[in-house]
Amino acid sequence: MEILHSLLYGFSVGLQPANILFCFIGVLIGTLVGVLPGIGPVGAISILLPTTFHMSPVSAIIMLAGIYYGAMYGGSTTSILVNIPGEAASVVTCLDGYQMARKGRAGPALGIAAFGSFIAGTLGLIGLMIFAAPLAEFGLRFGPPEYFAVILLGLTLITHLSQGSVIKAIIMGAFGIILSCVGLDHIQASPRMTFNLIQLWDGIDLVPIAMGLFGIAEILSNIEKTTAPEILKTKIKNLFPTVLDWMQAKGAILRGSVLGFFLGILPGGGAVIASFFSYSLEKKISKEPSKFGNGAIEGVAGPESANNAATAGAFVPFLTLGIPPNILMALLFGALVIHGIRPGPFLLKDHPDIFWGLISSMYIGNGMLLVLNLPLIPIWVQVLKVPYRILFPVILLFCVIGSYSINNKSFDVLIMVIFGVVGYLFRKFDYEGAPLLLAFVLGPLLELNLRQSLILSKGNFSIFFTRPISAAATSLAIIIFILPLFSYFIKKKKA
Amino acid sequence: MNSRDQISGLFWLGISIFVCLESSRVGIGTFHSPGPGFLPFWAGVVLGTFAIILIVTNILKKQKENEITNLWKGVEWSKVILVFASLFIYTTLFTKVGYLITTFGLMAVLFSVVERRKIWIQGVTALITALVTYFVFYKWLGVQLPKGILGF
């Protein structure tokens, strides 16, 4: 009952005209970003982050969150029509979605992706409401050792669940922590790695790094390619799935929703992993696994539901414990901190308008997205036809303006350009930017809690093992860290 | 040295040595009382350790082809260099010359990167882009874009 009252309060915030407008802008931009290959939700949120500085914190988080889950809807369009994922969480949708389109079933593929996303998004929100309050209560028992241990666990998980090499992901995580230490030390104000540059005394800003690593680097990687993607020339009809389509897809949608929600909660989990897991699950339990990869509707419904449910799940640790489980949440974390609000167990108590306003806006946003995605598909197809030679300079310009507008300093633009090249080289050398950025965002929290814990315990590391929550989290982090080594040695012994 | 992992591993090893030295300079402190260099030092140690692991695991693998030259085979890397150089020059001139002129120049270059069109078309498109973004961001959204020595 209390949840319902809180949700009604949330709707009183979310249904304010300004917030409806920002929700609409967010989901529209998110869909557009999801449709357009070459820029993902991370790049879009990074670019638009400075524009939220003049908004209220509620409106800011509503808009930015709208971009996040809107991109999940939009990403399926290019996967199905062009066989190029609009963003990473829609990679798996290419496998069967494009095959359905080739067989003249683009409409039902797009339709089931949109409806599945809507159902999963709604179910995910219900999960968020149920889990949030108890987890926030649990979070009130956290002290510096618990925070340090959970952040360490989060960083360990994200490095081990990354798609590439674990060694490289750990290197990225360590480098991210080092970058977060640049500037004046928060406790003693000693300059660290500032190279006598006064511009670095406040450290490096999140926005230029994020824009550089994900926006500029993506563009540089795209312009070196010699071929342009071709859009499938097919008539898109019958956007509403048939009864048979629903019968085949309903199980996949429900399973994807549950799987996606819980995977979204895990640090390092998120929409990408959720979509892959869902596809694997559907293929495993299917009576006809051979139809996967040839236009199985479950291969579209499951992953698309999973990636949307995961976006709701990701808000659970972010809002209740103040720990962003993935890079997008890390950016939203940065956005709230810029507005002077610290996500965590006290957010529900001190800023219920932000918490419940956000949840209600996600209900509203999901409804908007269902309306936007289906009837506007012909428009999105036209947008896809905008030549990349026109699109990428405009995106670059937005990145420049976005970086400059943070502090009105060209130094931030220079940082963005440098990290753009760094991000491009990372891609060449197979390094992922996500562990770096997450570690960069969590680095200051990690350092503060580590130093406070050691001061509390007079330098005794056993503080992390004597308190139950931190003991569990630290032990789990160590096990996850060591596990790949064990399996490596076992494999070597067998060989 | 033709493996990208070996090269990147050496790079990270160099970074870790630098970070550890810098952290020692500002003061690592003790476990009782961690100093400002405490976390960066240990992060540097982790970075260096895994850089060495990366190099060693790569040496143990039998490397056949030259990975470094393959990275840029079949791709138009000159366009990447052109974009980077344009952005770098733009950033250095941005606040001195002003938003409009530098943005016009940058857009004129960038529009020609992927596909060359007639010069006047590129010029007009660049001018329109610079003007539209100036009005949207400076006049409408209130973003303080630099005016430069010419006052605009």
pLDDT digits (tens, 9 = 90+) for B18-73: 999 999 999 998 888 888 999 999 999 999 999 999 999 888 876 555 566 666 66
Ranking A141-155, A223-237, B4-18, B105-119 by mean pLDDT, the lowest is A223-237
Residues 116-145 of A with CB under 8 A from B: none
- Return the pLDDT at A138: 78
Rounded Cα–Cα distance for residues B152 and B149 (Å): 8
Residue B151 is assigned to a structural domain of this protein = no
pLDDT tens, residue by residue, A302-327: 999 998 899 889 888 888 888 888 87
- Contact status of B15 with chain A (Cβ, < 8 Å): yes
Split at pLDDT 50, 70, 90, the class of A229 is: low
Structure-token pair, residue B83: 């974009």
Q: If you average pLDDT over every residue of chain A, what do you get?
A: 83
Last residue of a domain, one of B71, B97, B119: B71
- Return the pLDDT at A492: 65
User: Using an 8 Å Cβ cutoff, are A143 and A461 in contact?
Assistant: no
Rounded Cα–Cα distance for residues A80 and A491 (Å): 39
- Contact status of A155 with chain B (Cβ, < 8 Å): no
User: Using an 8 Å Cβ cutoff, are B95 and B148 in contact?
Assistant: yes
Residue B145 is assigned to a structural domain of this protein = no
Rounded Cα–Cα distance for residues A142 and A14 (Å): 30
Last residue of a domain, one of B54, B71, B88: B71
Range of the domain at A395: 2-494
Residue A406 has pLDDT above 70, yes or no: yes
A341-369 b/e (C-beta count within 10 Å ≥ 16 → b): bebbbebbeebebbbbbbbbbbbbbbebb
- Is B50 close to A226, i.e. CB distance below 8 A? no
ipTM metric: 0.90
- Return the pLDDT at A217: 86
Handedness of CA A407, A410, A413, A414 (dihedral sign): negative
In the 8-state DSSP scheme, what is residue B137? I
How large a percentage of chain A has pLDDT more than 90? 14
Could you tell me if B58 and B92 lie in one domain? no
- Our CA-based measurement puts residue B22 at a distance from the nearest CA of chain A, in whole angstroms, of 7
Residue B14 is assigned to a structural domain of this protein = yes
Could you tell me if B9 and B64 lie in one domain? yes
Could you tell me if B86 and B54 lie in one domain? no
Rounded Cα–Cα distance for residues A481 and A492 (Å): 18
Could you tell me if B10 and B39 lie in one domain? yes
Last residue of a domain, one of B71, B88, B109: B71
> Which is nearest to B8 in space by CA: B65, B71, B62, B64?
B71
A326, with CB counted inside 10 A (0-12, 13-18, 19+), is buried
- The verdict on pTM exceeding 0.90 is no
- Our CA-based measurement puts residue B147 at a distance from the nearest CA of chain A, in whole angstroms, of 12
Average pLDDT over residues A2-13: 83
- Our CA-based measurement puts residue B115 at a distance from the nearest CA of chain A, in whole angstroms, of 7
Could you tell me if B91 and B45 lie in one domain? no
Residue B150 is assigned to a structural domain of this protein = no
> Which is nearest to A72 in space by CA: A90, A97, A94?
A90
Look at phi and psi of residue A381 and say left if phi exceeds 0, alpha if psi is from -120 to 50, else beta: alpha
User: Using an 8 Å Cβ cutoff, are A117 and A308 in contact?
Assistant: yes
CB neighbourhood size of A370 (10 A): 18
Residue B147 is assigned to a structural domain of this protein = no
Question: Domains in chain B: how many in total?
Answer: 2
Residue of A nearest to B53 (CA): A167
Could you tell me if B62 and B92 lie in one domain? no
Could you tell me if B16 and B58 lie in one domain? yes
pLDDT tens, residue by residue, A236-293: 666 677 888 888 899 999 999 999 998 888 776 677 778 888 888 888 888 888 888 8
- Return the pLDDT at B140: 73
- Is A431 close to B8, i.e. CB distance below 8 A? yes
Structure-token pair, residue A469: 């929550």
pLDDT tens, residue by residue, A177-208: 999 999 988 788 888 999 888 888 888 988 78
What is the largest distance, in Å, between two alpha-carbon atoms of chain B?
Answer: 69
Could you tell me if B84 and B135 lie in one domain? yes
Count A/B contacts: CB-CB distance under 8 Å: 168
- Contact status of B1 with chain A (Cβ, < 8 Å): no
Residue of B nearest to A404 (CA): B145
What residues in B contact A430, CB-CB < 8 Å?
Answer: 4
Question: Domains in chain A: how many in total?
Answer: 1
What residues in A contact B53, CB-CB < 8 Å?
Answer: 167
- Is B54 close to A171, i.e. CB distance below 8 A? yes
SS3 B29: strand
- Is B19 close to A178, i.e. CB distance below 8 A? yes
- Return the pLDDT at A55: 84
Rounded Cα–Cα distance for residues A113 and A93 (Å): 9
Look at phi and psi of residue A74 and say left if phi exceeds 0, alpha if psi is from -120 to 50, else beta: alpha
- Our CA-based measurement puts residue A160 at a distance from the nearest CA of chain B, in whole angstroms, of 14
Residue B11 is assigned to a structural domain of this protein = yes
Residue of B nearest to A414 (CA): B91
What residues in B contact A183, CB-CB < 8 Å?
Answer: none
- Return the pLDDT at A188: 82
- Return the pLDDT at A73: 79
Residue of A nearest to B13 (CA): A171
pLDDT tens, residue by residue, B84-124: 999 999 999 988 888 999 999 999 998 887 777 778 888 88
Residue B43 is assigned to a structural domain of this protein = yes
Range of the domain at B92: 77-140
Split at pLDDT 50, 70, 90, the class of A330 is: confident
